[in-house]
C-alpha cells in the first residue's frame, strides 16, 4: 500500500475512565466538519468475527484466562480487523480512527500483565507488517481518578476488574511509549474538564487536516 495514497490511521488510547467514548464522538464530528471521510472502529473488535473474540476476552469468567491465550486472541481479532476492515478502508483513501489498537497490547499485556514486549513486537510484525497508526492520541489521567469514573458505569468487564497496581503499570507503559516516539503520540491531559480535553484534541487534529 502506498503511504501517499492511503488515508490517515489514528488510534485513541487511555486507561479506564479516560473518556474515550465521548472524545471519540468529538473526533468523528470534528473530522466530518472538515469533510474528511472517516470510519470509526474499535479493538478488540471491528468486524463481526472480531467482535465475537471481544466478547470472549471481556466477559468475566471463573476459568482463569492464560496470558498467552489472551494475547493471541487479541492479535487474532486484530488480524481479522486489519484484513477485513482497516487495510481496505485506508486503501480507499478514507481516514480511520480506532478506539484502541496495538499500543493497548503493549500497555495492558506488556505493562499490566508484565508479558514480554519482544513477544508483542513479534506478533505486531507478524500481523501488521509495517502498518502502524500515523498518530496515537493518548488520553492520560491519574489511575485513581479513572477508576472512580469507570466504577460509576456499573458492571465491570474482565479487564476493569484488575487492581490499581495493574492500571498504574498500564499507564506507565503508555507514557513510556509516548516518550519514546514523541512524533507519533499526542498525550492529552484527560483529568481536565471535558471542554478543555476537547480543545486540546481539536488542536492536535487541526495540525493534521
Ligand atoms: P474498552 O474498549 O471498553 O476500553 O475495552 C477494551 C478492553 O480490552 C480494555 O480494558 C483494554 C483491553 N485491551 C487489551 O488488554 N489489549 C489490547 O490490545 C486491546 C486492544 C484492548
pLDDT tens readout for residues 65-122: 999 999 999 999 999 999 999 999 999 999 999 999 999 999 999 999 999 999 999 9
Predicted pLDDT of residue 5:
79
pTM as predicted: 0.96
pLDDT given for residue 153 in this prediction: 82
Phi first, then psi: give them for residue 4, nearest 5 degrees: -75, -25
Q: CB of 15 closer than 6 A to ligand 1?
A: no
Report which of 192, 171, 98 is spatially closest to residue 137, judged by C-alpha positions.
Answer: 98
Rounded CA-CA distance 147/168 in Å is 11
Looking at the CA of residue 74, tell me the nearest atom of ligand 1.
Answer: 18
At residue 198 the predicted structure's pLDDT band, cuts being 50, 70 and 90, is very high
Closest approach atom of ligand 1 to CA 159: 10
Q: From the CA of 103, how far away is ligand 1's center (Å)?
A: 10
Q: Looking at 65-74, 123-132, 144-153, 184-193, which range is the least confident one?
A: 144-153
pLDDT tens column, 134-173: 999 999 999 999 988 888 888 889 999 999 999 999 999 9
Q: Is 74 in the pocket of ligand 1 (CB under 6 A)?
A: yes
**Rounded distance from Cα 40 to ligand 1 centre (Å):** 16
- Grid look-up 487495510 returns 87
Q: What's the pLDDT at 4?
A: 56
Q: Pick from 122, 15, 129: which is nearest to 71 by CA?
A: 122
Distance (angstroms) between ligand 1 centre and the Cα of 54 equals 9
- Ligand 1: which of 78, 108, 128 to mutate, judged by most atoms within 8 Å of the beta carbon? 108
Looking from the CA of residue 112, the nearest atom of ligand 1 is 15
R_g of the chain, CA atoms, integer Å: 16
Containing 166, the helix (H) or strand (E) segment is helix 164-180
Chain-centre distance for alpha carbon 177? 13
Q: Which of 53, 71, 100 to probe ligand 1 with, by most ligand atoms within 8 A of CB?
A: 100
Amino acid at each position: 500500500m502506498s503511504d501517499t495514497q492511503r488515508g490517515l490511521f489514528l488510534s485513541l488510547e487511555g486507561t479506564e475512565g479516560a473518556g474515550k467514548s465521548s472524545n471519540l464522538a468529538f473526533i468523528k464530528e470534528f473530522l466530518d466538519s472538515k469533510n474528511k471521510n472517516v470510519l470509526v472502529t474499535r479493538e478488540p473488535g471491528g468486524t463481526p468475527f472480531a467482535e465475537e473474540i471481544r466478547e470472549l476476552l471481556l466477559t468475566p469468567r471463573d476459568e482463569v484466562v492464560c496470558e498467552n491465550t489472551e494475547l493471541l486472541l487479541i492479535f487474532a481479532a486484530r488480524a481479522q480487523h486489519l484484513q477485513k476492515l482497516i487495510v481496505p478502508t485506508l486503501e480507499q483513501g478514507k481516514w480511520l480512527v480506532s478506539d484502541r489498537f496495538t499500543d493497548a497490547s503493549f500497555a495492558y499485556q506488556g505493562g499490566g500483565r508484565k508479558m514480554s514486549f519482544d513477544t508483542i513486537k513479534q506478533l505486531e510484525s507478524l500481523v501488521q507488517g509495517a502498518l502502524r497508526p500515523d498518530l496515537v492520541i493518548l488520553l492520560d489521567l491519574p489511575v485513581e481518578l479513572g477508576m472512580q469514573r469507570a466504577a460509576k458505569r456499573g458492571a465491570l468487564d474482565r479487564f476493569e476488574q484488575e487492581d490499581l497496581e495493574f492500571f498504574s503499570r498500564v499507564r506507565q507503559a503508555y507514557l513510556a511509549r509516548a516518550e519514546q516516539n514523541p512524533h507519533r503520540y499526542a498525550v492529552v491531559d484527560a483529568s481536565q474538564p471535558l471542554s478543555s480535553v476537547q480543545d486540546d484534541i481539536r488542536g492536535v487534529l487541526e495540525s493534521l487536516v
